[in-house]
Amino acid sequence: MRYGGQTPGPVLKVRAGQRVRLVLENRDQLQHDLWVVGPEERAPYLDPAFPGARTRILGPGEREEIRFVPDRPGRYRYVCTVPGHDATMYGEFLVEAVP
């Protein structure tokens, strides 16, 4: 269970205040999702770091596209919130300040 076939998953780098379009495609045999959360946040995950920065739980072969605006710069994480999955399904979500 990994994002993009690697642990940690690829670093996702975006600009603060700009709309992000993120597509999650589940090519695994288990259910997965993706949430952007605070850097120190651990399960149970209650809210994403930004409104709309979460997919629903996708079954095998499903795909979802989400759009949200990361309005605060910083280092965040993305994780799978299915219990136990965040041990291997996580990555860095970097929100850069706009110069």
Q: Which of 34, 85, 91, 93 binds Cu ion (CB under 5 A)?
A: 85
Which CB atom, from 24 or from 89, has the smaller least distance to Cu ion?
A: 89
Q: Which of 38, 82, 94, 96 binds Cu ion (CB under 5 A)?
A: 82
Q: Can you tell me the distance from the alpha carbon of 76 to that of 94, in angstroms, rounded to the nearest whole number?
A: 6
Residue 3 DSSP symbol: B
Q: Which of 20, 22, 26, 32 binds Cu ion (CB under 5 A)?
A: 32
Could you tell me which stretch among 12-20, 31-39, 51-59, 70-78 binds Cu ion (CB under 5 A)?
31-39
Distance (Å) of CA 70 to CA 4, 37, 46, 66, 90 = 22, 11, 17, 12, 18
We find the least distance from the C-beta atom of residue 80 to Cu ion, in angstroms, to be 3
DSSP strand E in the chain: where? 12-15, 20-25, 35-37, 63-68, 74-79, 90-96
Residues in contact with Cu ion, counted by CB under 5 A, come to a total of 5
Among 89, 78, 75, smallest CA distance to 7 is for: 89
95 belongs to the binding site for Cu ion (CB under 5 A): no
Residue numbers at the binding site for Cu ion (CB under 5 A): 32, 80, 82, 85, 89
